[in-house]
Amino acid sequence: NGLVASLVPLLEENEDDEVLAHVVGALAECCVDPANRAVLRINNGLPKL
């Protein structure tokens, strides 16, 4: 999913707590789908969370 792949870099690039809260929330919603969980792992998103 392109959305998950585009959200992961925002975890590293932003220090604004509000932005991070929204990104984490969006990733949580996306990762209800197992395919998106795989995309999160492939894009090294778990350590950033």
pLDDT for 3: 94
**How many structural domains are present in the chain?**
1
Q: What is the 3-state secondary structure (H, E, C) of 12-34?
A: HHCCCHHHHHHHHHHHHHHCCCH
Looking at per-residue confidence, does 36 or 49 come out higher? 36
Which residues are within 8 A (CB) of 3 and not within 5 positions of it... i.e. 6 or more apart? 26, 30
- Whole-number pLDDT of residue 26: 96
What is the tens place of the pLDDT at every residue in 9-45? 999 888 899 999 999 999 999 999 999 999 999 999 9
For residues 30 and 49, the model is more confident at: 30
In which band, very low, low, confident or very high, does the pLDDT at 48 lie, cut at 50, 70 and 90? confident
Structural domain boundaries, residue 36: 2-48
Do 27 and 49 form a contact (C-beta atoms < 8 A)? Answer: yes
What angle (nearest 5°) sits at the alpha carbon of residue 43, between those of residues 20 and 31?
A: 65
